[in-house]
C-alpha cells in the first residue's frame, strides 16, 4: 500500500537556525498538509496546500513558516528561525479530493530545538 | 468554531473487556468523521470513518456510528486486546477550502493481560 514518507525521523537544531522538514506524499494525491503535535498534546493543523498554493492555514502558521512543493514529489515545511517552542512532532499528510477522503499520515519528524 | 471533544484518558482495561471512547463534535456544515490510532513511536493511522448520518464505520473489531442528532461518534470494541494499547484520536474533516482535519485531544488506552 502506498504511504507518505517523511525525512528525517529526528532533527536536532540550535535555536534561531532554519530547518526544512521533508515529505513525499502519496503520488496520486492532490492535497497536502502539515500538522504538529507537541509532546503529550493534541495534533494541531498547520497548513493545507493544493494546486501549488496554500489553501488554508492556522494561527500557528505565522511568517516563520513556509511550505513548498519544489518538484513533482516532495512537499517541504520550512521554519525560518526556530524557537524552543517549535519542538514537536511534525506530521505530513496527503489526501485525494473531497472531505470524505481520509488523510494519510507519515510517521512524523521529531524536531528538537536546543 | 469547529471542534472535537473526546473523553479524557488514560483508560485502563483488562484484556477482553468492552471499550467505549466517547467523542462529540461541533461543526458548521456536514463533516466527515474519523477515528485515528497512534501506536507508540508511530504516526497516525486511519482506523475507521463515516461520511454521513447513521453511517457505521468499522475496522479490526472497532465500530463507530455517525449520530447527527447527538453530534457524536463514539468508538466501541467488544473485546480489547493488549495490542490495542495506543492513543485514539477522534477527528472531523470539513471543506473549508482546504479540507483540514480537526482532532480531539486523544485518549490513551492501556490494556492489561
Task: Give the model's pLDDT for residue B9.
Answer: 86
Measured distance CA(A26)–CA(A9) in Å, rounded:
18
Secondary structure (DSSP) of B34-83: EEEEE-TT--EEEEEEE-STT-EEEETTEEEE-BTTTTB--EEESS--GG
pLDDT digits (tens, 9 = 90+) for B4-33: 999 888 999 999 999 999 999 999 888 999
Task: Give the model's pLDDT for residue A37.
Answer: 92
Half-sphere exposure of A85 (CA within 13 A, CB side): 2
Q: How confident is the model at residue B100 (pLDDT cuts 50, 70, 90)?
A: confident
Task: Give the model's pLDDT for residue A1.
Answer: 67
Chosen from A43, A92, A94 to mutate, greatest number of chain B CBs within 10 A: A43
Dihedral sign from CA coordinates of B2, A99, A87, A19: negative
Task: Give the model's pLDDT for residue B28.
Answer: 83
Q: Which chain B residue has its CA at the smallest distance from A97's CA?
A: B99
For chains A and B, CB pairs below 8 A equal 69
Strands B107-112 and B11-14: parallel
Task: Give the model's pLDDT for residue B11.
Answer: 96
Residues in chain B with CB shorter than 8 Å from the CB of A51 are: none
A→B interface, C-beta within 8 Å: 31, 33, 35, 41-45, 48-50, 54-56, 58, 91, 93, 95, 98-108
- Helix/strand/coil for A65: strand
| Distance from the A79 Cα atom to the nearest Cα atom in chain B, whole angstroms | 21
Residue B98 has pLDDT above 90, yes or no: no
**A56 contacts B49? CB cut-off 8 A:** no
B→A interface, C-beta within 8 Å: 31-32, 34, 36, 42-46, 49, 51, 89, 93-106
Task: Give the model's pLDDT for residue B96.
Answer: 66
| Local confidence pLDDT in tens for the 114 residues of chain A | 668 999 999 999 999 999 999 999 998 898 999 999 998 788 999 999 988 999 889 999 999 999 999 887 899 999 999 999 999 999 999 988 766 678 889 999 999 999
Angstrom distances, CA of residue A28 to CA of A32, B34, B45: 11, 22, 19
Residues in chain B with CB shorter than 8 Å from the CB of A52 are: none
**B105 contacts A41? CB cut-off 8 A:** yes
Residues in chain A with CB shorter than 8 Å from the CB of B43 are: 91, 105-108
- Do residues A47 and A33 touch, judged by C-beta distance below 8 A? yes
**B98 contacts A107? CB cut-off 8 A:** no
pLDDT digits (tens, 9 = 90+) for B49-84: 998 899 999 999 999 999 999 999 999 999 999 999
Indicate the helix (H) or strand (E) that contains A12.
strand A10-13
- Length of chain A measured in residues: 114
Amino acid at each position: 500500500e502506498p504511504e507518505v514518507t517523511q525525512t528525517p525521523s529526528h532533527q536536532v537544531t540550535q535555536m534561531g537556525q532554519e530547518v526544512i522538514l521533508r515529505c513525499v506524499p502519496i503520488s496520486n494525491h492532490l492535497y497536502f498538509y502539515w500538522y504538529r503535535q507537541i509532546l503529550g498534546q493534541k495534533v494541531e493543523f498547520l497548513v493545507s496546500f493544493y494546486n501549488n498554493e496554500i489553501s488554508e492555514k492556522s494561527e500557528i502558521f505565522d511568517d516563520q513558516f513556509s511550505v513548498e512543493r519544489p518538484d513533482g514529489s516532495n512537499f517541504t515545511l520550512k521554519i525560518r528561525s526556530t524557537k524552543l517552542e517549535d519542538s514537536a512532532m511534525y506530521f505530513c499528510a496527503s489526501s485525494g479530493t473531497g472531505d470524505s477522503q481520509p488523510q494519510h499520515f507519515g510517521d512524523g519528524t521529531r524536531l528538537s530545538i536546543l | 468554531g469547529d471542534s472535537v471533544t473526546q473523553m479524557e484518558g488514560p483508560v485502563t482495561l483488562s484484556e477482553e473487556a468492552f471499550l467505549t471512547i466517547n467523542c462529540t463534535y461541533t461543526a458548521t456544515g456536514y463533516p466527515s468523521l474519523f477515528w485515528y490510532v497512534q501506536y507508540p513511536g508511530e504516526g497516525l493511522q486511519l482506523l475507521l470513518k463515516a461520511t454521513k448520518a447513521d453511517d457505521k464505520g468499522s475496522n479490526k473489531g472497532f465500530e463507530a456510528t455517525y449520530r447527527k442528532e447527538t453530534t457524536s461518534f463514539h468508538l466501541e470494541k467488544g473485546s480489547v486486546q493488549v495490542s490495542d494499547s495506543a492513543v485514539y484520536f477522534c477527528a472531523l474533516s470539513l471543506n473549508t477550502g482546504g479540507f483540514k482535519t480537526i482532532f480531539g485531544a486523544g485518549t490513551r488506552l492501556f490494556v492489561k493481560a
